[in-house]
A and B are shown apart, each in its own frame.
Chain A
Amino acid sequence: MNAVDSLFFIRSEIFLAAVIFVVLILDFFIQQKRWLGWLSVLSILIAFFLSPSFYPDSGLFFNYYTLDPFGFFFKTIAYLTIGLTLLASLAYEKIPQKQAGEFYVLLLTMALLLTFMGGATNLLMIFLTIESVSLTSYLLTGFQKFDKRSSEASLKYVLFGAVSSAVMLFGMSLLFGASGTIELSQIGELLKSSASIPQNVLTQTGGANTHGMILMGMLFLMAGIGFKISMVPFHMWAPDVYQGAPTPVTAFLTVAPKALGVAVMARVLFFAFPDLVHKWAFLMTWISIATMTIGNVIAISQSDIKRLLAYSSIAQAGYILAGLATPGELGLQATLIYIAAYLLTNLGAFFTVIAIERNLESNELEAYNGLSVRNPLLALVLTIFLLSLAGIPPLAGFIGKIYIFSSAIKAHSIPLALSIALNSAVAAYYYFNVVKAMYLAPPKVKEPLTNPFPIKLAIGTMLFGTFLIGLWPSLIIQAVVKSLANFPIF
């Protein structure tokens, strides 16, 4: 589809881009920055409802931006995360008032970029969107620039990110060299039979073994994307970055970029390499097992709640990848459902941590001692989120876990099923360490905790969602089935 016709379909993106500039300009005039925050939340909501209700037959902008149900699902994920992160950061005083406007602008930009990331179906767009999302993430991570941890995290993130981008780009160049195209689906077509690789490409590569090149390209590409979703063994950056970043940013980073990274990964694997499915499914199985195991085992010894949740989010990435490790309709459904449940639960947990951090000025587990006395509601809510992360029914996380289990069992992947079972028990241990501090340990001080409205709203929304999906799973299942309608599942 040409550029002019495409404009109609991206009206929500255009609107969001316009809002970004408006907020940027208003930032000069408005002293009460929280109005900018509310404006941003509102515009995310409006942008969501501006999304077209039907999908075009072909990719927009000459196939550079694909609008399909799959992309829409992840767009919803991105908008939801950003909107709620905005709400939560309204109550986060550690972000300097002066720069709050810029902070909101960066988050809105992030929403826009993530949307494009979910619709990227060629190598160039994948690289550009991932890169720009990463750049914005670096900025957000280092936003508390006078905080040593925050700056250190940002620097680490930049260095790791730069390497991973280079790796990814190298993989892409191999793929392009071997296939002569940057379109994912065309790479897939070409791979269907190696004989069909055009003669001119073969001569360009000097008749080299294109199969080997494609395999290498795939591996490098997977490694590059793997960095972004904190997949073991490319997870080293994650704990430091998640700990150092301002907490609302951490909440956001553990969910949205990860979810979108998985979206890109799914598109790459299913569009471009359907013929190598046995190779990457095998690889994914063990990567998934390693990711969940390492994340969970290291999380046990953490005494800082942000770090604990950081490692937990690495483990959760492992569960999400388990869906890709068992390719098929159920596996993909499991991935998407798990992402949705994880979004609600993990954001909820982090928002509760923000609400507590505001009052206690600490993220140490010890500071949580006796929280059930100081603020029973907050303690109860955090417990519910942690239970959901641990996969206890009837909460959202349980539905996700059921699906992951199901796809592993249906694919007869016994190691995966056993590993999920054992990991769930391990994970419960450290989640309950937090619960233990809140309920079983006596409080040092008794003064109650108070919180402003925006954070309460954000937590309340997540809590509602966690129960809603747990008790009426049909809602999310139907949405996921719809969003996979046009997805090429072999």
Chain B
Amino acid sequence: MAADVAGARRTPWVLLSPSLATISLLLIIPMMFIVVYSFWLRTATGADQVGFFLDNWIEVLGDRFYRDILFQTFAIAFYTTVICALIGYIPAYFVANTPMKSKTFLLLMLMLPFWISYIIRTMSWINILGASGALNTLFVSIGIIDEPIQMLYNQTTVVLGLVHYLLPFMILNVYVSLDGIDKNLTEAAQSLGCTGFQAFREVTLPLSFPGLAAGSLLCFVLAAGTYITPVILGGPRDAMFANLVFEAIVTQLNWPLGSALSLVLLALLGALVVIYTRYLGVDQIAKSFK
């Protein structure tokens, strides 16, 4: 009997072991290296000095430069999230209210961008907004402007590129929660005296809020951790935090500093996720990937 109980207790761990092994090997252990690295010190000779130094942490947490870029990163992520929420809600609502047959097709269309590399999608903006891009060529040819204007390489284009990249995530999340709302609820609201818009405000919008919140979290985290978009579409002053990590590790070969930087971003985004899921539940986010 006792052996059976012990066996039954063990079963979940046996079943979980492949995933646990994978996660430990590929995520936890490398992360430990990063943590250890962040306490080493790069010397003037370029070699890393093994030990327990707080120099990197003092630099990262104390230097205004890093703080400013961190704020800039979060500002860009915030603008991106708000814009995604505002313009993503409409297609999500439209898809959720489409008859079943066309719905599958529309959802497939939403997935379509994921089949093309994110880098290529980001670079496509150069062909649209660049000096010899579609818009400039058009404006010059119809005589609105005399010579190409500089539209690329600023914070706006970074946000634009991120919205382009992250919009499907927002739409899918909002769609899932809208699709789960019982149509009878809006009909009931209307029978009680609401106009269509009032019923939307009273019933549909609040009930779709979890999807909106889950989509926003996903957009914010992905935007805040982005590295490619500011490189391709940003100017010299539009660096985001992930670019600093790249700079430190790849360009300056300063692994200890890069480790400390990446841990700061990880900790902040991790804290955000924890606070969020506390109030909304992880299941909302998981739902959108069903």
Q: Do A and B come from one complex?
A: no
Residues of B within 8 A of A (CB): none
Residues of A within 8 A of B (CB): none
